[in-house]
Amino acid sequence: MVFTGFAELDALIDSTQSYSETTLNNSISRPHTIAGDNPRFQVTPKDSRFGFKVSAPEFASMKASALLEVDFFGTVPSNATQDQSYVNSSIRLRQYYTKLETPVFDLLVGQTNDLFGWGGAGFFPSTPAFLGVMGQVFHRNPQLRVSKVVDTSAVGIELAVAGTRSATRDSAAPDLQAGAKLTVNAWKGASAQGPRPAKEAPMAIGVSGVGRRLSVTDFSAVPGDPQVVYGWGAAVDIFLPIIPSHDKDLSNTLSVTGEFSKGTGVSDLYLTLTGGALFPSLPNPHNALPAPIYTPNADPGIVTFDADNKVHTINWQGLMVNAHYHLPVRQGKMLSVSGTYSQVRSSNILSLTPTQGRNFVWNKGHYIDATLWWSITPALQMALSGQMTSETYGDGIVANNSRGQAAWWFFF
């Protein structure tokens, strides 16, 4: 059994009161509002995490293992005080799965990163910001995944398919995800995943896709049969060593990680991405009391209804590019700098929103950060980061948030 994880503390100062600890794809408060014009300071250890990996003895050329990983971003009751929210954090399940490795294929059953976007496979940006950053595919799901890895001295190829929890349980069918990943084993560079210390890794490129069936409650005071639409997404991820490493020496290495994604009806796979879109209110021509209320069976931002009460999936396109350079100190493992640029945009969220509601919906977002990393010891690390996020609302108003972050980690 292996015990892994890290203890983390983050100090966060924001120019607005838009966010709790995470920024992700949440909406920024508009300027000339109390929340949009006043700052906020927070200190949190919630991203700390620990996990156990257990492996059974090999049996008939098969290897069985299991992983449990938790953090402290569990749901906080709406009536919790600030002291309770920050100090008495609740545990949240991150990953919990079993894996069976056989000579023919590998089988994974449980909750882990989605195959769409190749989460956890070396394509995360080097940043202290809580993942995923704006426009980055980042999600975990219960799933059953079958994969096959073919590895040679020159290249490695991994093919995988997965059935995952559907976005709406009334869809009566799992989401389907598939991906292919290629690694070039002789072309290696420094790969730093989120806040974790960099390690040597081969150049890699991955493509992935997701398809889903969405069965949405009919938009009516007396609902009829549900309306069915289909969502899809496609993503390309790359880890590219610009200045390669040599024999695990990361000095003077420069690496770039990037992702381009596009889809419709898949906003939940970007974490908290809604663009402010909500379901419209049911018409009430006779001023009935109480007014009729629509009860959706899908999370906000995935679908909405047009003026004819017809359901539509919401389109999103994301782009993320991250670069990090390691200075020639202690084999490149002491000091490094990184920067991230990302964006997300929707081509139809405004056209699906009534004119009077467009002030509350945004269709373009941009994110940028710059970070200085210092590994005080191989186990103890700190970072200083500046981050800026902007969103363009339907009436042309641009909302901005600037964040300063100081963070500390102890890895074990």
d(CA 105, CA 67): 19
Residues 6+ apart with CB under 8 A from 44: 9, 10, 12, 21, 86, 89
Q: What are φ and ψ of residue 408, in 5° steps?
A: -135, 140
Confidence of residue 60 (pLDDT cuts 50, 70, 90): very high
Taking only the tens place, the pLDDT of each residue in 5-21 is 999 999 999 999 999 99
Structure confidence at residue 285 (pLDDT) = 82
Whose tokens are 């994110």? That residue is 367
Percent of the chain with pLDDT over 70: 100
Taking only the tens place, the pLDDT of each residue in 318-328 is 999 999 999 99
Structure confidence at residue 166 (pLDDT) = 95
Q: What are φ and ψ of residue 360, in 5° steps?
A: -105, 5
Confidence of residue 374 (pLDDT cuts 50, 70, 90): very high
d(CA 163, CA 115): 10
Structure confidence at residue 286 (pLDDT) = 81
Tokens of 319: 């782009």
User: Is a pLDDT exceeding 90 seen at residue 175?
Assistant: yes
Asked whether the beta carbons of 374 and 334 are under 8 A apart, the reply is: yes
- Arch. (CATH architecture) of 2-411: Beta Barrel (2.40)
d(CA 363, CA 356): 16
User: Is a pLDDT exceeding 90 seen at residue 375?
Assistant: yes
Instruction: Spell 184-214 as b/e; 16+ CB within 10 A means b.
Output: eeeebbbbbbbbebbebbbbbbbebbbbbbb
Write the CA distances from 288 to 282, 292, 293, 296, 308, integer angstroms.
Answer: 11, 8, 11, 20, 21
d(CA 278, CA 142): 26
Structure confidence at residue 208 (pLDDT) = 98
Per domain, the residue ranges of the chain are 2-411
Asked whether the beta carbons of 109 and 68 are under 8 A apart, the reply is: no
Structure confidence at residue 293 (pLDDT) = 87
